[in-house]
Amino acid sequence: GAVVSQHPSRVICKSGTSVKIECRSLDFQATTMFWYRQFPKQSLMLMATSNEGSKATYEQGVEKDKFLINHASLTLSTLTVTSAHPEDSSFYICSAEGDPNSPLHFGNGTRLTVT
Amino acid sequence: GQNIDQPTEMTATEGAIVQINCTYQTSGFNGLFWYQQHAGEAPTFLSYNVLDGLEEKGRFSSFLSRSKGYSYLLLKELQMKDSASYLCAVRAGSSNTGKLIFGQGTTLQVKP
């Protein structure tokens, strides 16, 4: 079955630094990837839609200059949290879409803690 | 706007049957998904409905009524490992690609 790999699984960084999270589709090409954020005991909130070779589409209220998304190839999208603050601490999950008739496949998520 | 509602918490007994309801109001509809999520882990796919009716997959079944904006997930022969959060998600938009909008999730606790 389709596999999405996300790295790192956990990261702790200091306030003001930047963190890059990678999302790879391992056995299929994904023209579209989605980035979600999940705070404790809450559901997944869509942050942005990442399209290969073009600019990402951000949801309302998500700062595009703070959450930089790059989707340079059909198998890799990256999310960079710039100038991280403690309130950015969250669980970040990517998902990738291969066959339009198949469900979205999720990466294992990245637990970000900003100290 | 987009609105997906499901109960926050449910409790059921091991071996029993539980039904988790989901109602939605979205701009466009192209499928409804149910995912299971254990604490600290990513969601795993359970079922998908795009046409009205019941989809059965082992101990799990999902029902959809597009005219009512309603779905439910039915879990039979509950096991302790079924204790998790269950997420209802709608693929909004007019095509069969596109983002999923998630409900807030239902935390199910299975008791012995």
Give the pLDDT confidence of B33-46 residue by residue, as tens digits: 999 999 888 899 99
Nearest residue in chain B measured CA to CA from A37: B42
- Using a CB-CB cut-off of 8 Å, the residues of chain B touching A97 are 97
Residue with tokens 């069969």: B96
Residue, of A100 and B109, whose pLDDT is higher: B109
- Using a CB-CB cut-off of 8 Å, the residues of chain A touching B87 are 43-44
- Of the pLDDT bands very low, low, confident and very high (cuts 50, 70, 90), residue A101 is low
Arithmetic mean of pLDDT, A43-62: 90
**Nearest C-alpha of chain B: how many angstroms from A43?**
5
The 3-class SS string of chain B reads CCEEECCCEEEEECCCCEEEEEEEECCCCCCEEEEEECCCCCCEEEEEECCCEEEEECCEEEEEECCCCEEEEEECCCCHHHCEEEEEEEECCCCCCCCEEECCCEEEEEEC
Q: Report CB contact under 8 Å: A106, B101.
A: no
Arithmetic mean of pLDDT, A64-85: 93
- Using a CB-CB cut-off of 8 Å, the residues of chain B touching A109 are 41-42
What's residue B46's pLDDT?
94
- Using a CB-CB cut-off of 8 Å, the residues of chain A touching B30 are none
Q: Report CB contact under 8 Å: B40, A111.
A: yes
Say yes or no to pLDDT of A49 above 60: yes
- Of the pLDDT bands very low, low, confident and very high (cuts 50, 70, 90), residue B78 is very high
Q: What are phi and psi for residue A29, nearest 5 degrees?
A: -95, 135
Q: pLDDT tens for residues B52-74?
A: 999 998 999 999 999 999 999 99
Q: What are phi and psi for residue A3, nearest 5 degrees?
A: -125, 135
